Every structure is written in structure tokens, then in C-alpha cells.
Amino acid sequence: MRQERDSPSPQEPLRRPGFAQFWSGSTLTFFAASMTTVAVDALVINELGASEAEVGLIRAVQFLPYLLVGLIAGALVDRWRKKPVLVLSALGSGVVLAAIPSLWWAGSLSLAAVAVVLFLAGVFGVFTASAQQSALPALVARSELVPANARLGQSMTVAQTSGPPLGGALVSLLGAALSLGAGALGHLLSALLYARMKVPEPDFSEAAPSHAGRPSIWRDIRVGMGFLYRHRTLTPLAVSTHIWFVANSAAVTVFALFALRHLGVSPFLYGVTLALAGISGLLGALIAPQIGRRLGEGNAVILARLLYPISWALVALAPQDPVWGLVMLGLAQSLYGFCMGFEDPNEMGYCQSVTPRHLLGRMHATMRSANRTCAVIGALLGGLLAGVIGYHWTLWTIVSVFTAAALVIGLSPMRGARTSDAEDPQD
């Protein structure tokens, strides 16, 4: 079994039954998340009338669970079987999201209630993400990690393409609160798909090396942090990504306000602009393995980081015109989505290839926890700055932060880094 997974001859990842079932459950999760994004923005901005600062606060609440429980979740997932974690966390996300339409129906929905629901859904999402990244390398060969991540990226971008317009249409038809019920249903169905995964149990129960007795969870966390922040290539990648998350979280916060409030875009057209990121992201994900092979995974990530400032400069340059403003937003989202489409599979594949199997949960949890902490900061700053200095100056500030993230990784050993050149991590 182990020999098969480590075979140098890669095959199509979807031909592996375990990965195919994993991919199906993850794809449905992506669709649920894409539909939920539009509904939450419309609910908070249009129906509940949140201020700029309140929009930033609601956005920050969604990332707060990574700060509070992310590291612990990563250490626990390294000790637990991954399949039950995926099933229970997806189920939990669906149940808590269903509370929003229920509260609306009862006439008790408020910004505070929305914040609580999104926080709880975020807690379950922390465990889902940690288990997904830890389980994937057990499902495919090392040489198939980038193609497998590309398959996930492709389904994610298809979800980002069709999910936002569908979510916007549901908002127009049912209202924002009731349309969130569709997202809740998506998470519940993904739990059923995860429950059907047929994977040999050893693939989901690899434990950390034994020490004298059972090591404390805090020691496990320190080991994972030490690995990430002392690694020759992962450390600059992590620092650049942290900066990127500050910029990106501020950007998506201001983008929602800029489109829905400043330009007066309808929820449906707002969903269409987000869908353009999904369309171009699908193209990026389709060619991600080729870009990684030609440039190297490290250079692929660097190229994307250099293009992000351009995409958000296009947003800053968008005029307050119902046609040309929308065109500029569409161009910006298209470039933004294309960059994420080819960057993510190469970044994830590289990280998974250089990280020992027993550290995957902690490495990813450390990275995600720091990233989402930066996202909390970015969301709060984006909302506050938009209210104080205006949308355009805030967007140019965001462009400068994206540029800083590109410089950090562009001047690091990640230049030219390839999974094929990395040492084979020991389990």
C-alpha cells in the first residue's frame, strides 16, 4: 500500500476511490461556502444596515476561531482519525448555519446573532480544514499532490463561478436570511459524502512518533510551530502569506462595501463579479500543474504574489459608473481569481511534499491560525479605514501591502523551489 502511494509514476488522482470520495465531499463544501458568502454580505450590508466598522467586525469574527482554536485543532487532528473529524465538522457547520433562517423566521435575527453563528461555523471550519489537508497526502502519491490539489482547486473555482450568482439569485428570490438555508444544506450533504469515504484505516490514523509517554498537546503545538518557522523555504512562504492575508482580508471587506454601497451594484451582479474570479480561477487551476512543472512551484507562487497588487489596483481605479465601474471590477476579479487558481495547488503541493506526515496537521494549523489572525486584523483595518479615509485610499493602502507580501517571498529561497528537489520527508 505504501509502495503504491510513493510510486514515482503518477496517475489521475480521481481514479483513486478514496480521493474521489474526498473530492466529492470537499466540492460540495466549496459550493456551500460560495453561496453563503453572497448571502452573508447582502444580509449584513443591505438588510441589517451594518456600518463600515461593523462589516469589518463581522468579517473578522469569521476568522477569529483560527486564532482561538486553530493550533489546538491541528495538534488534535494529528492524533485523531481524519474521517470522523470531517464528518462531524461538516455536520456541525450545517446545523449552526441553519440557525440564521430560523432566527429570521422567529423575528430574532440581529448582527450579534449573525456574528455568533458565523463564529461557531468558523470553529467547525477550523477542524474541517485541518483534517482535509492532513488526509490528502494519505490518499494520493507524493508525485500526485499538485494534480490532486489542482483537482480540488478546479472544483473550488467552479463553485466560485456558479455559487455566487446562484446565491445572489436566491437572495433576490428568498431574501438573504432564508437563502443561507441552502448553504447549510450543502454542508449537511457534504457530511454524508465524507461518511461514505472508503479509505484503509491506516491512512487516517498515522500518529506522531512516540516519546516517553504521551507528549502534551502544548509540546505538539511547539513542535509544529518550530518546524514551520525554522524551515529554509516554508518560513519565508509563511511570512509572505501572513502579510498577504492582512491585505486580502481588508480587500474583500472593502470590495463588498465598494460594490454594494459605493457603486450600488445589486446582489445578483455582485455575485456575478465574484463568479468571474471563479471562471478565471478554474483556468488557473487547470494549468497549475503545467505552470508548476515549467517554473517550479516556488516561482509559481511568486508570480501570483506579483500579480495580486495589479488586480486590486484595478478595483481602486474603478469609476463610479454603473457600466465601466462594473467592467473594472470584473477585470480585477478575473485576474485575482486566475492568480489564486494556479497559486494554491502549487503552494499546497509544495508544503505537503516537504512536511513529514505526522506534522501535517500541526504545520497547516500553525499556518492557518497565523493567517486567519492576520485576516482578523485585515478585516478590522479594512472596515475602519474605509470609514475614515474612504474607499479609494483604503484600496491603495491594500495594494501596497500586497506588494510587500510579494517582495518578502520574491527575495527568499522560495525562488526556484521545486517539490522534486525537496528531501523526501520521513513519516
Average pLDDT over residues 239-244: 96
Count Cβ atoms below 10 Å from residue 347 Cβ, excluding itself: 25
Question: What digits encode the pLDDT tens for the residues 26-56?
Answer: 888 888 887 888 888 888 888 888 888 888 8
Q: Residue 333 domain-assigned?
A: yes
**Domain-embedded: residue 5:** no
Q: What residues contact residue 110 under an 8 Å CB cut-off, 6+ apart?
A: 48
**Burial code of 380-410, b = ≥16 C-beta within 10 A, e = fewer?**
bbbbbbbbeeebbebbebbbebbbebbebbb
Residue 33: CB atoms within 10 A of its CB come to 19
Give the type of residue at 335: L
Residue 86: Cβ-neighbour burial (10 angstroms; 0-12, 13-18, 19+):
buried
Task: Say whether pLDDT at 199 is over 70.
Answer: no
Report the range out of 129-133, 180-184, 304-308, 413-417 with the highest average pLDDT: 304-308
Instruction: Look at residue 89 and tell me whether its pLDDT is greater than 80.
Output: yes
What is the span of the domain harbouring residue 315? 12-197+216-421
Q: Is the pLDDT of residue 423 over 80?
A: no
| 299-334 per-residue burial string, b: 16 or more CB within 10 A, e: under 16 | bbbbbbbbbbbebbbbbbebeeeeeebbebbbbbbb
Distance CA 309, CA 298 (A): 18
| pLDDT > 90: percent of the chain | 31
Range 332-347 average pLDDT: 92
Is 209 among the domain residues? no
Q: Give the angle subtended at the CA of 121 by the CAs of 120 and 127, to the nearest 5°.
A: 100
Model pLDDT, residue 313: 96
Average pLDDT over residues 178-190: 88
pLDDT tens digits, 361-376: 788 878 888 887 898 8
- Extract the C-alpha cell encoding 212: 516517553
CB-count burial class (<10 Å; 0-12, 13-18, 19+) for 120:
middle
Q: Does residue 205 lie in a domain region? A: no
Phi, psi of 211 (to 5 degrees): -115, -165
CA proximity to 257, closest of 384, 165, 97: 384
Residue 211 lies in a domain: no
Task: Give 97-142 pLDDT, tens digit per residue.
Answer: 999 999 999 888 899 999 999 999 989 988 988 888 777 877 777 7
Q: What is the pLDDT of residue 2?
A: 38
Residue 173, pLDDT score: 85
Q: Give 322's pLDDT tier (boundaries 50, 70, 90).
A: confident
Question: Are the C-beta atoms of residues 315 and 402 closer than 8 Å to each other?
Answer: no
Q: What CATH number did the domain enclosing 248 receive?
A: 1.20.1250.20
C-alpha torsion sign, points 334, 173, 253, 68:
negative
Instruction: Quote the pLDDT of residue 420.
Output: 66
Residue 204 included in any domain = no
**What pLDDT was estimated at residue 297?**
92
Residue 211's beta-bridge partner residues? 213
* Across 214-238, average pLDDT: 86
Q: Is residue 4 one of the residues assigned to a domain?
A: no
- Total domains in the chain come to 1
Whether the pLDDT of residue 204 is over 90: the answer is no
Over the chain, what is the mean pLDDT?
84
Q: Is the pLDDT of residue 426 over 80?
A: no
**Does residue 1 form part of some domain?**
no
For residue range 295-316, list pLDDT tens digits in order. Answer: 999 999 999 999 999 999 999 9
